[in-house]
Amino acid sequence: MNGWNEDKGWSDAFLPEIKQILGVYLIGEPNAEEDQLKNTDLIVLTMKPVRIACRIRRQEYFERYQNEFTIRCTRPSENKTELSKIIEGWGEYFFYGFGNEETRKLIKWTLADLKVFRLCFMRRLYGGYKNEEKSNKDGSSNFMYFSWCDFPSEFIVASGNGRKA
């Protein structure tokens, strides 16, 4: 059974590449006045903490599930899961990708707005729609799966293919 430490170790190997990608979307260039008068060549687009949930799946799942994303909803330990934390309001963005285990490079990724997800998820619940839960093969957790196309266009902030190694 894969535990939290093993899951975390797997996805953490992709953090350097994820940080490079996120820099493109969370750091901007200032206007000319900022540059000329305020010693500003780059500007972070917010001053408050920006929380980003990251989920990387193994390449073996890419062909079959590339148009879907999953969010862990239960664990046998009854610890809080990604879904419960998202519903509680934690996190501004969700970075989801597929990674190559050998090269430790992403093959496809999506950056999504969790505010949009929360609103859509709550509307679904209010309307009586219930996402189906599925169990991981190893019994370590259950998850819900969602199709990217079932959400409005503003849900996806950016997406791309991995970088060449």
Using one digit for the tens of pLDDT, what is the confidence trace for 4-17? Answer: 677 778 888 898 88
Indicate the length of the chain as a whole number.
165
pLDDT tens, residue by residue, 27-75: 778 888 877 777 778 877 666 778 899 999 999 999 999 999 999 998 8
Q: What are the sequence ranges of the domains in the chain?
A: 4-161
The rounded percent of the chain whose pLDDT value lies above 90 is: 45
Radius of gyration of the chain (CA): 18
81 CB-near residues (< 8 Å, 6+ apart): 71, 72, 73, 74, 75, 141
Looking at the DSSP bridge assignments, the partners of residue 111 are 95, 158
